[in-house]
Structure 1
């Protein structure tokens, strides 16, 4: 599967972007007459045939088109990236495979990582989407402070927060069964501060439990993605 964000169902021919063209021609050594599959990350899949190569870019003829409906739920995770870039990239890959809709990196009081290589992150998401044959590209938002994020109006969303304090929490399955649009807060390795937890709860984020064990940041996020994939799909 290849990714071409500008392709639409209304076209008969299209010229692929330089990056995908390079991969098709130099890495996979595809030639004129070969068939390929393409998605625009918006639910559309295309069966196409290479008809020409000009200026190192593939020109294709679209043979057939298929549209896949979105998942029956939407998941937006606000997550404080771990100190290890590898662990955050692992989360991006697995969350994409599991069907996450949107990701917002957060800067919290206890955050150890406050910068991201967005170009690399987007490439990881794109690669995971193609390899898992997903037809929807998750949206990766710019990094934002916790305080700004929790004040966003998430209309019609069930708002949840996963934290490690011994407060009263709802089993995640109970909250998942009640809605189809979710915004979930996941804190840094040092967890949310008490003031952040209080702020979130005052803004109608409900605390949730994922069990009685303490999990890494990226593990919590992947567990949430998997829970929705199993219980809502």
Structure 2
């Protein structure tokens, strides 16, 4: 059954009108007709089943037949703060795969050794949207605008906070520190890693240093490894 992302729908809606872009895709590209069944996700946990009532290529009318709230809601909350990679394709790859595995929030952090100082979140959000549709996720991860690491560290977070880095020091594995069914914030640095000053600042702000294994991982690989571990440990 074809799936559409409709962030402005609500469980109380008996009908829904697809916008012009989605209507054109449904009728002209997918060639759906009146009576065809479709699914909708609102990005807030709602999964809707609907039937096409009027197959109009500019304003398709859907009749909502069933609503599931909190569809496949996970038992934890994961926020990954990652330095944008020099090659933006790698960041896009991370966002796609992390969304498929399970993530709630992503913040792009600009560090002292960052080779990329900016990233257009509009395109990155489209990557995330495509990933939730592909993997049938009813929750749309939040992607925050890039922010300097020193500013980000001062923000409040009600949960466990970790920083993964490659510097020599007292670090433990994520599996040894994670409190199950909690809220987690994990910092992943740029290709050149966090600077000693940044690591110390994070520790001073309540972050716990962790290792993601013996291998030296790329930024996007480290972030995905952290995402996988958190989801696996919470099964």
Superposition TM-score tier, normalisation by shorter sequence: over 0.9
Moved over 4 A (4+): none
Equivalent of 2:140 in 137, 140, 148: 137
Match of 2:173 in 1: 171
Counterpart CA distance in 2 for 1:42 and 1:201 is 33
Deviation at 1:69, TM superposition (A): 5.2
Whether the 8 Å CA contact 2:111–2:194 is kept in 1: the answer is: yes
Equivalent of 1:209 in 208, 211, 232: 211
Helix, strand or coil for the counterpart of 2:85? coil
Whether the 8 Å CA contact 1:161–1:185 is kept in 2: the answer is: yes
Counterpart CA distance in 1 for 2:192 and 2:28 is 45
Deviation at 1:53, TM superposition (A): 3.9
Helix, strand or coil for the counterpart of 1:50? strand
2:114 matched to 1:80?
no
Counterpart CA distance in 2 for 1:178 and 1:14 is 39
2:36 matched to 1:38?
no
TM-score by length of 2: 0.95
Whether the 8 Å CA contact 1:158–1:179 is kept in 2: the answer is: no
Whether the 8 Å CA contact 1:163–1:207 is kept in 2: the answer is: yes
2:139 matched to 1:121?
no
Equivalent of 1:48 in 47, 50, 63: 50
Quote the RMSD (CA, aligned, Å): 1.3
Counterpart CA distance in 1 for 2:134 and 2:226 is 21
Whether the 8 Å CA contact 1:4–1:17 is kept in 2: the answer is: no
Closer/same/farther in 2, CA of residues 205 and 33 from structure 1, 3 Å limit: same
Alignment: residue pair count: 232
Helix, strand or coil for the counterpart of 1:37? strand
Equivalent of 1:14 in 6, 13, 16: 16
Counterpart CA distance in 1 for 2:20 and 2:228 is 34
Whether the 8 Å CA contact 1:74–1:180 is kept in 2: the answer is: yes
Helix, strand or coil for the counterpart of 1:88? helix
Helix, strand or coil for the counterpart of 1:75? strand
Structure 1 spans left out of the alignment, 5+ residues = none
Match of 2:234 in 1: 232
Whether the 8 Å CA contact 1:110–1:190 is kept in 2: the answer is: yes
Match of 2:154 in 1: 151
Counterpart CA distance in 1 for 2:40 and 2:14 is 13
Counterpart CA distance in 1 for 2:25 and 2:192 is 41
Match of 2:199 in 1: 197
